[in-house]
Chains A and B, each alone.
Chain A
Amino acid sequence: MHALIIDDSRTMRTILRRIVTELGFETTEAGNGQEALDALEAGLEPELCLIDWNMPLMDGYTFVTRVRADPRWRNVTLMMVTTESEHGQIVRALAAGAHEYVIKPFTPDAIVEKLELLGLVVQEVPA
């Protein structure tokens, strides 16, 4: 499984990378939506994109709409990870094609829980 982490903050990319690496994902990082789109155009095939909203050059919302408009990437799971918590923004992102929405700050458990809901992670149940 491969995750594309899209955030202009290297700190946030590092935090997310630690979480999903622990879950067995390989990762690629992008500093904005355009870089991420370029990576997809170059042939990267992630199962999951973790996407910040506010970024320079191309924001996360635009990235979601661009990905969803292209049938080549219809199977990619898109999860917004952002400080944007206004109800209208959440609705916009989900309507544009994001599958899940996580508001910063988040705990690692919150990310794991969402990935479980999306079927990308299966937690082992203790015997």
Chain B
Amino acid sequence: MIAAVEPEIGDVYAVVEEVWSTFLGTDEPILPEVAPVDRPQEWTAMTTVGGAWEGAVLVAVTDRLARDVAAAMLALDPADLAPEDVSDALGELVNVIGGNVKSLMPGPSTLSLPLVASGAVPASHQRREVCRLDLSWRRQSLCVSVCVPTGASPEPGPTPDSSTSTSTSEETR
């Protein structure tokens, strides 16, 4: 039986804020957007949790933000980054956010290796978004969302990325 527990949005925000400030510093804090924004389409990183709680954590960011994140984490100039660097940094970021979201939920459970796509993750009828954070860092938008399998709740809901285009490339680490 899959637990239909959903994370509290405030707890997820606390996780994201902690991960962001630890890896990327506190000089430029991550902030909530004052109004909902379009989900960034250029990079999406995702990890899934399986076990007593099942779900997925997705981070969608603009290309500029992705490069700024990778440059900060790797201590490199953004101009010197290869696409693999950006993919790896985003994968680690979603891995840590996902692992800490997992710790908020019933266990035991396991975390998948991250999946990073240059583009958006296609909509899926197999999951529904139960938590969405529209955030801003360095005046660039990012979106962190938590999804659960549609079978985990009696209430069907909208799927994420219902208006997004297909991804152009994917890779796993």
Residues of chain A contacted by B23 (CB below 8 angstroms): 15, 105
Q: Write out, one digit per residue, whether chain B residues 59-90 have a CB within 8 A of any chain A CB (1) or not (0).
A: 00000000000100111000000000100110
Cβ contact within 8 Å between A9 and B22 = no
Known contacts A8-B113, A83-B100: does B73 contact A106 (CB below 8 Å)?
Answer: no
Interface residues on B, range: 20 to 34
Q: Write out, one digit per residue, whether chain B residues 105-148 have a CB within 8 A of any chain A CB (1) or not (0).
A: 00111111100000000000000000000000000000000000
Interface flag for B166 (CB, 8 Å): no
Q: Write out, one digit per residue, whether chain A residues 3-16 have a CB within 8 A of any chain B CB (1) or not (0).
A: 00000111110110
Docked pose: A95 CA to B98 CA in angstroms: 25
B161 to chain A, nearest CB (A): 24
Cβ contact within 8 Å between B173 and A14 = no
Cβ contact within 8 Å between A106 and B22 = yes
Binds B, one of A40-48, A66-74, A84-92: A84-92
Cβ contact within 8 Å between A104 and B113 = no
Other-chain contact of A85, B91, B92, B103 (Cβ < 8 Å): B103
Interface flag for B18 (CB, 8 Å): yes
Interface flag for A54 (CB, 8 Å): yes
Interface flag for A123 (CB, 8 Å): no
**8 closest A-B pairs by CB:** A83-B99, A105-B22, A9-B92, A85-B103, A11-B89, A11-B92, A104-B96, A86-B107
A-B contact pairs, 22 of them (CB 8 A): A8-B173, A9-B88, A9-B91, A10-B88, A11-B74, A11-B89, A11-B92, A14-B74, A18-B75, A54-B110, A54-B113, A55-B113, A82-B99, A83-B96, A83-B98, A83-B99, A83-B111, A86-B108, A89-B108, A104-B95, A104-B99, A105-B23
Residue in A closest to B112 when the chains form the complex, CB atoms: A54
Interface flag for B19 (CB, 8 Å): yes
